[in-house]
Every structure is written in C-alpha cells, then in structure tokens.
Structure 1
Amino acid sequence: MATSESTNLIDSLASDTDIVSWVNDALDQPYASRDSAVELAELDQHITHIISSLDIACEDSSSELERVIDDVSRGLPRLTYDLHFMKDSAVNLQGSLATARKKSGAVVPDQTAAALEQLQILDTIRSNMEVAREVLQDAESWSTLEMEVTALLSEQSFAKAAERLSEANRNVVIFQNTAEYDPRRTLMVSLQNQLEASLSSALVSAITAQDLGACREYFSIFCNIQREVEFRNYYNASRRTSLVSTWKDAQLVGCDDSSPRNAGTTFLEFLLKFYDAFSSLLNIERVSIPSIFPNPSQTLSSFIIAVLAALQPPFSQRLSAMMSYHGDEALKPTITAFQVTEKFVADVNKVIEKMQFTAISSPRLEEASLKAETSPMKPSHTRRRSSRMSISLRSGWQKSVLGDSLADVEWEQEVFQPFLDVQLDYESLERRILDHTFSKLASQGAGSEVNLTRVLKERVVDVFSSAEDSLGRCQALTYGYGAVGLVKALDKFFQAFVNAWTIHLRPAPSSNANIEETRVVDIDYSPQDWNNFQNILHRLSSLRVFSDRLSIFEGKLWSYIASVAANHKSFQSDPTNHPMTPSRGLTQLMEQSPLYSAELLALLEKGEAPTGREPLSGSGIRQTPLLALTRAEVSSFAKACQVALQDTILSPLQKYLSSYPTAPLWTASEDPTQKNSIASGDLQLPSFSIPPSETIQRVIQGLLNLPGLFEDYADDDALSFSLQSLPYLSNEVLKSLSESFVSSSLAPPIAPRSAALAPLRQLDSEVVSSIWLSSLGYNLLRHFSNTILPAIEALTPAGATQLSVDLESLSNVLRSLNVEPEQLGRWKSAVEMNKSEIGGGLRENSEDPVLLQVARMRGWANLK
C-alpha cells in the first residue's frame, strides 16, 4: 500500500507537465523518516505497476479499436442505403405527425386541452417535490451520521455501521461541486477509519484462529466501506508471518554476513525447506480463501506476491550472495535453485487448479464470483520490475499467450523475477565456468614437445566434454533464449584453449638425441631442421584432432539450435499448447527481456535449416561456422605451422641462394663459352652448351629431391590438414584439384581459401604431396624473385647470359611442381634485352620493377 507521501508524489506527477522538473523537485524533497528509502521503493513499485496497467490498457484499447474499425468497415457499404431509407422514413413520419396533430386538435375541445395541460404541470411539480424531499432527507441524514455511527460502534454493531457508511458514501455525490463536499467526505473517511480501527484487533484474531465465518463477515464489512484492499493486507500480513520469520531468521552459509562460517545450512538446502513450507501454507489457504473471498485464484496469487515482497533480505539479495560465494562455478548452484523454483511453481499451479475445481462445484462461490465481477479486486501489491526488461518484439504476444487475465501469471513472474538478471548475464556466467574449467586443464601437462602434444590430445576430450555440458546449462536456465550467449561463450572458450596451447607448443631445443636417421639425398638438413620438422608435424596432428572434434561439436550445437528454433516456431503458431517454458509467467519474462533480441531471431532462423547447413559454391555442402573466432584461431595456427614447416624444408635451398647475388660470375668480363655463342649487339645469346650455375644446379637438385621427402610423410594426417591455408598456393591449382577430387568421389571438395576450415579425410597421398610441392615451389619462387634477384648489384653481358640460363633451368623445374613461374619469365626476357629494348620498355612503362632492376644491374641509367 503506497504511503501518503508516495500518493502525493504521484498526484503531483499527474498535474505536472514538465517531467524533468518534477523529478528534480521529487529528489530535492527531504526525507526525515528513516523509512525514506522504503517509500522511494514503494513509489517506484507503484509507478511500475501503473505503467504495467497502462500497457495492458493500451493493448486492450488497441484490440477494441481494431474490432470497431472492422465493424465500421463491414457496415460502410450499407450506410448510404440506410441513410437514404432513414431520410425517406423521416419525411413520411413528419407528414404523418403533422396530419395527426391537425386531427387531434380538431377532436379535443379547447377546454379539455387546457385541463390536461394543467394536470401535466401538477404532475411535474409533484415529481420534483418528491425528488427534493429525498435530497433533503439524505442531506438531513448527514447531520446525524457521526452520532449514529459512533453509537453503533459503541454497541459493536459493526455491520450496521458499515451499512450506514455505505449509504453515506452513495449520498456524498449530492454535494459534489459544492463547498460541503470536502468536509463531508473527510467526515466519512474518518468514520471509516474508526470502524476499521475497531475491527482490526478482532480481525487479526479471527484470521489467526482461522475463524472463517468471522473472516467472511469482516470481509463484507470492509467491502461496504470500500476497504477491501485493507482487509486483504490484514489477511496477507497475518498469514505470512511465520513464513517470513523463517526466511528472516535463517542463517545460511555464504548468504548472510552475520552468519557464522561454520553454519551447516546452505542456501539450496534452506530453499527446499522454505518452498515445502510455502506449499504447505498454500494448501491450507486453498481451503480457507474460497470461504472468504469471491475471487480465490486472484486472492491466492496476490498472497504469494505479498509473501515474496515481505521477504527480508530479498530473494534476489540472497541469490546474489550465494553466487558470489561460489565464485566462478556460481552457475551450477544457481541452475539448481532455478529448477527447485520451477518445481515449486508447478506445485502451486496444482494448488490453484484444485481451488478452481472447488470454486466451480460451489454455488455460493459461483454467486460470489459473479458479484465480484461488478467490483473487481484492486491490486494490493506493486510489481518489482527489473531495470533490464525490454518490450517484446512480437506485438500482441501478451494477449495470445496469457489470455485475458494477467493475474494468472503475475505471481509466476514475481517468483522468477530474481532469476531474470542471472539469465541476462548467462553469457558471462557461462564464460566464467568455462574459463574455470580451462584454467584447471591448462595447468595439467608439462614436459617435452611430444608430451605436450599427447597432453593436448587428451585435454581435447575434456574440453569438448565441458562444452557439451554447456548445452544442458543453457537449456536448463534459459530454455534456448540464451543461445546467442552460449555460442559466444563457447567460441571464446575454444579460442582461448587453442591460443594457450599453441603458446606451449614451441619447437624443442636443438639436440642430436632421438633424431630420426632419415636423410634426403643432396639436401643438407641439420639435426635442428629435422627436430623442427617433426615437432611441427606433431603440432599439426594435434590441431587436426581438435579441428575434427570441433566440427563434430559444432554439429551438435547446430542440432541444439535447430531444436530451439523448432520449439520457437511451434510456440509462435500455438503459444497456448506449445509454450517455450513450463511456466507462462517465465515465458513472458523471457520474451520481454533483452534475451529475445534480433540477434537471437537471426540465429534461430539459420537453425531452422537442416542442421544449419547451406550450399557450397560448386557442389557438395559445408557446415556454416558458428564458432568463427575459434575457426580463425585454428586457421591462423595451422597456417603458422605450415609456414614454419616450409621454412624448415626450404632452409637448405635458401642457404644456397644466400650467396647467389654476390657470385663473381655476374661481373665476369668474358664468357669461356663465348666462342660457341653468336654475338648480337652487346648481349651474348646463350648457346645450348652453357650449363646452369653451380648454385642453381644444387637448388634444382634439391627441388627434384623434395618429392622423396614426402614419401614417408604423405600419409600423415598432419600434412593433409587444412590444405586451404597453405601459403602461396595457387587458387587455380587448388580448384583444379578440387574438381578432379570430386569426380573421383573420394571425399568432399576442398573449400576455397575464404571458406571455413573443413575436415578432409582419405586424401590420396599423391594429391597431398602435389599440393605441398606446389606451395613449396611458389614459396621458393617468391623468395628468389623478390629477394635474391633484386640483390644482384651488377650484371655484365656474360653474367646476363648465365642468368638467363639459370632462370630457364629453374623455371623448367618449377613447372614440374605445378608452379607457373611467370615472374622468372619476365626476368629472363628482361636480361636478354639489349639497351635499346630496355629503354623502349621503360618508355612504355616507366614503373616496371623488373626492367628498372635490370637497367640498374647493366649500368644503363636514365634510359627513360
């Protein structure tokens, strides 16, 4: 019940047009009472209740307006006809009346007409005098009202006093808009207060003793003096006392600062006992309330809300304290408390259902209920709304789901209200429990690279087991409304796991022990190179295990989202028979909360497709990635491993090429084989007898021996993992391989580079080797073209001849590795040009980098 100060504030809000100034004035008012904070809370609750009532009234008005518009639209076609018909009828009636008046005037004599007129005047005077007498009698009764009521109260004739006050309440409207209204209204209220005060102690005693007959009589008296709300407050306050005291006196572990640390009762244990006591009390009220009140279901609902509102400390405060006590794993006991609350709500609904059956079978209650419809129960409580509530995205949802009575679910909303903030924070709470699990897993396992790799594979099982538990937690607490937060939490969890373990998996220190003796002919790999090679393969193998499990889990996640989407679709088509949650009140809270967002609807729309799959360009299908951050982290680490592996494989060849730009043959003044060449200007065209330089021969021999390196490793799953992320790989080669692979029906096609990583199994070892060799070839080509060739300082005609031979020889070998050496062809063409040809080329394209480099090497400056 709002206090006088709260009422005055609300009245001032109704008359004030400037909301900002009203808020400032309200905040500036001093609150001397120690209960000022409580009054502000009551004011906030009162305003919140008014807003809720206004929303419902707006919804009802909108529906009624739509119905009126429909009726008017259907009646418009006949409106013109009806108006025309009425006009014709009115004209005919006017003529008939004129004729009748003329005939009646001729029939009745003038003397008789005068007598009838006098009789009519006398009858009017008599009627007015009777009305005046009644008014005077009512006015005269006010002069004796106080004396009569006081006398009746002294005689304890409370029912007669209530009837007298009820009569006075009906008559007070006579004095409305007069100077007498306010004093008489004040007198009536004062007498009502005296009657209530005289009854209060007897009423409390009757309620405590469960004297249903006396309670029913007192209820009638309070209704007569318009104090039904006060009676309900007396009743609720008296009946909830023991339950509220049980809650207040409980000392719980981790929930109350004053509780001893060795207290043996936890919040969950106490909550079970509290709900049992609450249910037992409601079963008693199931029998008592219908004997007193005409609307038992609404009365029981208001009683439940009154009990919850009186709990000190509030339920939400103890729930928050429990979560703080349990730390990172707070979500687990919170879900248990939520499920216990759901069971309590289900039990209460059974109690209400039994009460409704009892009311239907009682004629007296049916009659009382019909009477109560003419004077609906005023709310005796205020709703506590969360500041994080939002308007439902679906118009008309309240009416379709809840029907016409908000009170049917209002108590359910009050019960579940403390859990709403927890549901809104589900993503962060889920992330905390996943991070806690991750920290425990990350602390396990140490040692060598091989041990870390083995531990990683073992931890992958634990990680995905924990992730699957998240699906159950999301369903238990949010019924799928937290699916967006679930996906984000899991994505960050997996990303952190991959990132942390990739930091641990570093190459082992250089050592000659435990090194395989395998060697490739003519490739000078050091023990450190072999050690790095095997370590990187171990990392890729571990990453493939994780990626495969990730794809399987992502399928389960899509299946869960698909089930939520199916439930949501059924709920939209038939909300009454297919609710999203077991409680209609809980469903309304969830639908009106920020959880029901456009992001959730978009996710559910994707989930409506079969297992979240979409077509892939070309042929086949691939799974739409849900865990984008994790996929990106896996792809990044896979590519880093592949780059490191390629650097290890190509390191001997790059060492050969390191001295290539400073070789003396580029500045040689005379070519020993010049006699076998044909002079052409200042450029010596190479003859077929000129061999490649020693460095290029060693590089070519190394490239030709690379396929042998993959013979022992091509079947390794590590090499066939994430081929899409291989560096410098030609898209055309990958596309061609994908098409031939699909035609052989061995496995799904290789997705484009832009697609998410897809697990590729049963790849032919020759296909894997070809892809890797092609990527290695492009890697070496890029290094040779961008780093080695531009480092040549000077180039004589003889040196240009040798360079042309080297480029031609290297290009031929690269083509055998499915590499198109276009850049080497440009260099070869440039070094074979004479001065005038290079000058002409630069005049056409002055920014050609290859021509500029060759011109610099040949000493031909300012050719442009």
Structure 2
Amino acid sequence: MAEADAVAWLNREMRGLAPSRASGSWTQRVAESGAADPQHVETRLAELHRRIRSARSEHAAEIETQIQRARANVPQAAEQAQQVAREATHFRAALQALHHSEPPAALACVHRLTDIQHRMQHARDLLQAADAWSYVEADVHAHIQERDYARAAQRIADVRDSLAQFAHSEHVSAQTAVLARLSDTLLREVQPMLAAAVTSGDVDAMELCAAVYARLQQDDALAELYLPARAERVHRVWADTDATLPAKMAQLGDALVALTDEEVHTFAPRLFGNEAAVVVAHTLATLSPSLATCVATAQAPLPDMVQAYEVAHAWAARLEALLRGATTQPVVQLRGSRDWRPCIEEAFAPFKAAYRALEEAYIEQAWSDTQPSFAAQLDRAMVSSLSDDMAPWLQCVTLVAELLHDQVMLARALRTEALQRAHALGAPLSDTQAALHASLDPGVAHRLSSTMDLLRQRYQSHARVNAPMHLAQADDLDALHDWSLIRAGAKMLGVVREAGEAMDTALHAAQRLVMELVLTVFRQHLDMYVAHGAWREHAPARTDPRVPMPTFSLSPTEGMVRLGEGLLNLPRLFEALVEREWANFAYGVHALDDERPRKTRTLSAKMLTHDMPDDTLDYVLSAWLRSLTLALLASLQQDALPRIVASRECDRAQLAADLDYLSTIASALNASSSALREWVDVLQLDARAASALPASSPLRASRAFALVWTT
C-alpha cells in the first residue's frame, strides 16, 4: 500500500475519535492528521496485519499446488512435443501436396468467375448502349441546338464504341451511317467556330473545338483547317515582300519566329503537345513561290546569297531553340512531317553545289570592276613622270608603290570575304582556295607585273632620253646614283611580299624594276660610251708633228675604266640599301634570273669570299650583285656591242681590251660571262685568223663572230 493511501485510510478511520494527548513522532503525525483515538488506529492496524498474513499463507499454498501440478504435466508435454516432431514431416509433405494441387484449381475457378462477371457486366452495358441507339440522333441534335458540342461529340463517340462490338450486324451498318451523318452535321457547326477561334487566337474556343474533333476521331480534318489558317499570316508576309533576297529571308524568319513562339507558348501546350514543329514544316513547305524557287530565281550576287543563307540559318537556330520545349498531353494529334530543316537545305543545295564556280566568277568580276578606278589613279600617279627632270620620278615611284599596296590590300579583303563566305556556307576550304588561285591570284599578279613593267619601260625611256649632261664630266659614277629612288623602288618588292604566293610574274617584274633603277647610271654611261667612246680608230692628222709609237699592249679606255670602277664600288653602296630593306630584298631572292642555288661568292664590305647559308645578308647581297652585273652585261652584248661593231670606225683591238677589262671586273663580282669572253676572243682575231677558223669551231658559230666578221 502506498504511503499516501495509508495516510488517507488513517484519516478516514480516526474521524470521530476523542482527542488525546499525542506522544512520539508517529502519534504526533496521527494527531495532526485529525484522528480522534490512536488506540483505535492501533487495533485496526493489528487486524489488518492478521489479514495480510492469512492472505500470504493462502497464496503460498496455492503456488505450491500449481508447482506440483506442473511437475506432473512436464513429462506428458515432452512426450506430446516428441510426437509432434515425429508427425511434422508427414504433415509438411501433406501440406506441400495440397499446395500443388488445390490452389491452382481454386485460382482458376476464381478467374473464371471474375471473367464471367466482367462479361455479364459488359453484356449489360452493351444492352444499355443498344437500348440508347434509338435516341442518339435526337440527343445529338438537342446538344447541337444547345451549342453543347462537347456533349454531342461524346454522345456520338459512346455510340460508336458500342457499335464496334456488333461490327457484322446489318443494323450496325445503318447506325454507323447515322453516326457519320451526325458527325458531319456536328463538324459543320464546329468549323466556323474553329476558324474564328484560330483567326482571333481564342485558345479556349480552340481547345473546345479540338476536343470535339478528337472525340469524333477527325484529327486530320482539324489539321486540314488549322494548318493553312495558321500559315496564312506567314504566307502573306512572304508574298508581299518585295526586297533583296537577304531582306526577304529576314522578314520570313521574323514571321516564322513569331508564329513558332505563339504556337509553343500558347496553342501547342493546350492542343497538340509538342507538335508545333508540324506547323512550321507545313508553313515552309507551302510557301508560294517555294523557298527553293525564290532562291533559284533571285539572281542575287554571291554576297547576297551567302547573307541570305546566314540569315536563314540564324532564324532556323532560333526556331530550334523555341521547339525544344517540354511535352504536354495532346488533345489531338497533328499528323505530318516535323522535319522543317530540309526546306532550307534543299533551297540552297544547288547554290552550294555550284559555289566554287560562282565564287570564281564573282571574284574575277569584282577584281575586274576595280580596274577603271585603278587605271585612273595610275594615270594621275604617272603624270609626275612627264617632266624632263629626273627628280619627280621619286614621287612617281612612291605613288605607284602606294597604289599597288592598296591593290594588294584590296585583294586581301576579297580573299578574306571569300573565306568568310566559305565558312558561312560550310564549303570545303580547298574549294575556296582553288577559286582564289584560279580567279584572284592571276589577276593580282597581272596587275602588279604589268604596272611595274610599264613603270620600268617609261623610266628606262625617260632615263635614256634625259641623261644628265654632267655624266661625262663626273669623276666617278657613285655620286650619280639616286638611292632614294632606288629605295622607293625596293618597296615594290615589299608589295609583292605582302601579296603572298603565286606572284612569280609580279616578283620578277619588281626585281626587273629595282635592277633598272640601280643600273640606270651604268646604262646611261654605256650609251655615252657607244656614242663617244675611245674605241674608234683615228688616223693621225697631217699637221701632227708627233711621231707615232708602236703599241704592244692596249689599256682599257677611260670610259670603260670608269664603268669598271663604278661596278666595283657598287657592293659597298648597295649593301647599305640591302641592310635597310632587308626583308624586301631577301624575299624571292631565289627567283632572281641568275641566282645560284647553293654556294656563291660575296663582295660585301665585310667579306670578299665566303660560302654562306641562303638567309644571310652576304648571300642576298651577292645574289643581287651578280644579277645586276649579268643584266648590265646582257644589255651591253645585246644593244651596245652590235652598234659598235657595225661602225666602220671600230677599233677591234681597243674594244677587245675594254671588254677583257670588263670581263675581269665581272669575274671579280662573281658574274663571269662566257658570252662576253667570246666577244673578246672574236675581237682579238684578225682577218686571216678569222677566216682560218674551222666551220666546226664554237667561236665561228657564236653570235659575236657573226656580227663582227660576217656583216
């Protein structure tokens, strides 16, 4: 018993007892609780104690009895457990046999009963539907009168589904005809509503009409009405556009993007799911005129065609991004092609197939169109060369070099535009490079080379006619070189270098121009040598008192000595120019007409004889000096010497001495000439020795022998 319960019991028992004096702690607590007589409490406690002991004895006796019974039952329970263990195997085998035989049969029976139930329910439904066949026409007309098209379509769909179970019945055929007539009636009522909804963009009305078409299984009929109506706005923009092909493509793209955006975000999610691409494909396929016809008949220039292709692919990318949205459950199925890309690719396919030929023709025409402007600028630049003075030629050469540089930049711009067009079309780079090599490079090379050759010829004629009068009085030829003019001419080499590859003719023309500018003074000196040289025979005057002295070894004349000294001083002067214009002179050094491919001697101010690689200053300088010297010797042999030997006053011995001296100078400059040695050998012959030469002699077969002894 809990302490609180004991206190409560004591309080209850001791109520009404006479108060007594308390003694001790327990007595004090009893007194404080309000009990009247502690003796009465003690009596009751003793009685309670006796009851507790009696109850405990009874419980102990009961427990002992139960223990005895359990001891008696344990052997019996153990025996029963052993018996159960013995019978468990047989019982388990019986259960397994029952499981394999009875449950499948029971399950089969259950399935048969369920199937019978379903069939009975289905038959009941069919009977109910068949009972309602006679009311379908009235119901549908009633719904149409109420403009409840959805319920009318659902009523027709329900009857149609029920008729499917009786497909071979004659009565079903009649009912099917009735349903077809009702469907047509309903569609005639819905079509104006659908057309108005498509025109106004009323999505709710369109969704209602789409549900009607879906229940009537008339998705194709809906598509036949919906697709042309949606494409009409784009077709109107396409037909009304009267602009260039790129602008026409841009306007078509804007209209298509607006249509697709409206389809994807407004109509398709509620009507067709993710079938907005069908609308785009139908719109592009039904353009009038077609996209392919418009591109084929546009007759647009190549840049406009490429720009139109870029514009088309730009809005095609925007369409793809719009059509990549999430899919929703469609109300009706739009059957049709979703692939609208071929409309664009097929339209530009013929153009891309003929791209190389078109590129060649366009580049060639574009370059030809710049010819009149170039010719006018060239004429203005050439005006400065009309003066009799040599000074304006510096301005003329500078202006022509700048003009040709502008032409190279123009060609580079055309090349860049062609590469950009090829990149935009995805055309092979090899086709573009081939078109450039076939149409642009020859035109650029011809313009550069013809201009440089014209400039060289005019300068050469001007220099011969207007030779400086003080040329004969000059102590040496070094001071007569116009190195500013020569450096301006060297810019032509830089122009060709910037032009790139396939400029061999222009490179040779630039090299010929530079050599002409360098050799001008030497050519003028040769002309003076031909006109006033000391190679003439002079009979002694009758009044000359001097006694003629025999000559055993002729020395070169003063004019030839001055020419040789000028050639020997040329390396020192020319080296400074090559150092300043190193990149220009080094470019195309292998294209020099007389450049030796491997090892050559150099006559720079640094070294006299050296074998060097072909990318050094000495190599470039030596190659140019050799070409300059051989060009001067060729001019001497082809122009000057035939005029000299044709003169009756020609002193062959003196001329041979001059040429021998010049041949020695040429050898020192690494420009030995076997043809010049033939001239020396022929001029040293007398008449008897010349006639004695055998017919098989190489000397007799030479051009020099023919000019000296047979004319």
Deviations 1:205-238 (A, max 9, x none): 4653464565466468678xxxx87764444223
2:231 counterpart of 1:240: yes
Cα 1:200–1:768, aligned 2, differ >3 Å: closer, same or farther?
same
Aligned pairs (5 A) from 1:777-816: 777-789=629-641, 801-816=653-668
Aligned pairs (5 A) from 1:709-720: 709-710=573-574, 713-717=577-581
How far apart are residue 244 of structure 1 and its match? Answer: 2.4
The one-letter code of the counterpart of 1:345 is: A
Determine which of 669, 682, 691 is the counterpart of 2:555.
Answer: 691
C-alpha separation between the residues in 2 aligned to 1:334 and 1:673? Answer: 90
Cα 1:520–1:350, aligned 2, differ >3 Å: closer, same or farther?
farther
Name the SS of the counterpart of 2:340 in structure 1.
helix
2:689 counterpart of 1:823: no
Deviations 1:476-511 (A, max 9, x none): 622353663366348855765676577777468979
How far apart are residue 660 of structure 1 and its match? Answer: 8.8
- 1:842–1:852 CA contact under 8 A, matched in 2: no
How far apart are residue 691 of structure 1 and its match? Answer: 1.8
Cα-Cα RMSD: 6.1
How far apart are residue 351 of structure 1 and its match? Answer: 4.1
2:228 counterpart of 1:279: no
Q: Normalising by the residue count of structure 2, what TM-score does the alignment of the two structures yield?
A: 0.54
Cα 1:639–1:547, aligned 2, differ >3 Å: closer, same or farther?
closer
Aligned pairs (5 A) from 1:424-443: 424=355, 425=358, 428=361
Instruction: Give the corresponding residue for 2:530.
Output: 658
Cα 1:838–1:211, aligned 2, differ >3 Å: closer, same or farther?
same
Instruction: Give the corresponding residue for 2:280.
Output: 304
2:297 counterpart of 1:346: no
C-alpha separation between the residues in 1 aligned to 2:370 and 2:702? Answer: 60
Name the SS of the counterpart of 2:579 in structure 1.
coil
How far apart are residue 816 of structure 1 and its match? Answer: 1.1
2:504 counterpart of 1:632: yes
The one-letter code of the counterpart of 2:269 is: V
C-alpha separation between the residues in 1 aligned to 2:674 and 2:216? Answer: 103
2:627 counterpart of 1:775: yes
- 1:661–1:788 CA contact under 8 A, matched in 2: no
Determine which of 564, 574, 579 is the counterpart of 1:700.
Answer: 564
Structure 2 residues not aligned, in runs of 5+: 1-136, 142-151, 169-176, 198-204, 385-395, 541-546
Aligned pairs (5 A) from 1:456-471: 456=403, 459=406, 463=410, 466=413, 470=417
Cα 1:526–1:315, aligned 2, differ >3 Å: closer, same or farther?
farther
Cα 1:518–1:350, aligned 2, differ >3 Å: closer, same or farther?
farther
How far apart are residue 322 of structure 1 and its match? Answer: 8.4
Deviations 1:256-277 (A, max 9, x none): xxxxxxxxx9647634531332
Name the SS of the counterpart of 2:555 in structure 1.
coil
Instruction: Give the corresponding residue for 1:854.
Output: 705
Instruction: Give the corresponding residue for 1:723.
Output: 589
Name the SS of the counterpart of 1:658 in structure 2.
helix
Deviations 1:431-480 (A, max 9, x none): 77777789889877955526625744884796488458527733662235
C-alpha separation between the residues in 2 aligned to 1:829 and 1:853? Answer: 9
Higher relative contact order (CA 8 A, sep 6+): 1
Cα 1:271–1:159, aligned 2, differ >3 Å: closer, same or farther?
same
- 2:533–2:559 CA contact under 8 A, matched in 1: no
Cα 1:336–1:635, aligned 2, differ >3 Å: closer, same or farther?
same
The one-letter code of the counterpart of 2:530 is: S
C-alpha separation between the residues in 2 aligned to 1:244 and 1:502? Answer: 55
C-alpha separation between the residues in 1 aligned to 2:636 and 2:431? Answer: 49
C-alpha separation between the residues in 2 aligned to 1:749 and 1:276? Answer: 63
Instruction: Give the corresponding residue for 1:648.
Output: 520
The one-letter code of the counterpart of 1:811 is: S
C-alpha separation between the residues in 1 aligned to 2:252 and 2:344? Answer: 13
Q: How many equivalent residue pairs?
A: 509
Cα 1:710–1:335, aligned 2, differ >3 Å: closer, same or farther?
same
C-alpha separation between the residues in 1 aligned to 2:703 and 2:307? Answer: 75
- 2:254–2:315 CA contact under 8 A, matched in 1: no
C-alpha separation between the residues in 2 aligned to 1:464 and 1:640? Answer: 23
2:492 counterpart of 1:546: no
2:343 counterpart of 1:414: yes
Cα 1:321–1:278, aligned 2, differ >3 Å: closer, same or farther?
farther
Deviations 1:785-819 (A, max 9, x none): 444555566899x9554454334322211111111
C-alpha separation between the residues in 2 aligned to 1:800 and 1:826? Answer: 13
2:420 counterpart of 1:473: yes
Cα 1:271–1:482, aligned 2, differ >3 Å: closer, same or farther?
farther
The one-letter code of the counterpart of 1:346 is: A
- 2:530–2:640 CA contact under 8 A, matched in 1: yes
How far apart are residue 307 of structure 1 and its match? Answer: 0.7
Aligned pairs (5 A) from 1:224-623: 232-248=223-239, 250-252=240-242, 267=248, 270-271=251-252, 273-283=254-264, 284-288=266-270, 290=272, 300-315=276-291, 331=303, 337-354=308-325, 357-358=326-327, 410-420=339-349, 423=352, 424=355, 425=358, 428=361, 448=384, 449=396, 452-453=399-400, 455-456=402-403, 459=406, 463=410, 466=413, 470=417, 473-474=420-421, 477-481=424-428, 484-485=431-432, 488-489=435-436, 492=439, 506=455, 521-522=474-475, 534-535=484-485, 537-541=487-491, 543-550=492-499
How far apart are residue 193 of structure 1 and its match? Answer: 12
- 1:474–1:483 CA contact under 8 A, matched in 2: no
C-alpha separation between the residues in 2 aligned to 1:191 and 1:440? Answer: 83
- 1:713–1:719 CA contact under 8 A, matched in 2: no
Cα 1:518–1:811, aligned 2, differ >3 Å: closer, same or farther?
closer
How far apart are residue 202 of structure 1 and its match? Answer: 5.4
- 1:544–1:721 CA contact under 8 A, matched in 2: yes
- 1:537–1:719 CA contact under 8 A, matched in 2: no
The one-letter code of the counterpart of 2:705 is: V
Q: Normalising by the residue count of structure 1, what TM-score does the alignment of the two structures yield?
A: 0.46
Name the SS of the counterpart of 2:577 in structure 1.
coil
The one-letter code of the counterpart of 2:284 is: L
Cα 1:813–1:232, aligned 2, differ >3 Å: closer, same or farther?
same
Deviations 1:648-683 (A, max 9, x none): 243123314535999544999xxx99967xxxxxxx
The one-letter code of the counterpart of 1:347 is: R
Cα 1:461–1:813, aligned 2, differ >3 Å: closer, same or farther?
closer
- 1:692–1:802 CA contact under 8 A, matched in 2: yes
How far apart are residue 638 of structure 1 and its match? Answer: 1.1
Structure 1 residues not aligned, in runs of 5+: 1-150, 171-189, 256-264, 381-406, 552-624, 677-686, 751-762
C-alpha separation between the residues in 1 aligned to 2:539 and 2:191? Answer: 116
How far apart are residue 308 of structure 1 and its match? Answer: 1.5
How far apart are residue 645 of structure 1 and its match? Answer: 2.2
| Higher Rg | 2
Cα 1:783–1:458, aligned 2, differ >3 Å: closer, same or farther?
closer
Name the SS of the counterpart of 1:413 in structure 2.
helix
How far apart are residue 778 of structure 1 and its match? Answer: 1.0
Name the SS of the counterpart of 1:353 in structure 2.
coil
How far apart are residue 414 of structure 1 and its match? Answer: 0.8
C-alpha separation between the residues in 1 aligned to 2:160 and 2:516? Answer: 94
The one-letter code of the counterpart of 1:809 is: Y
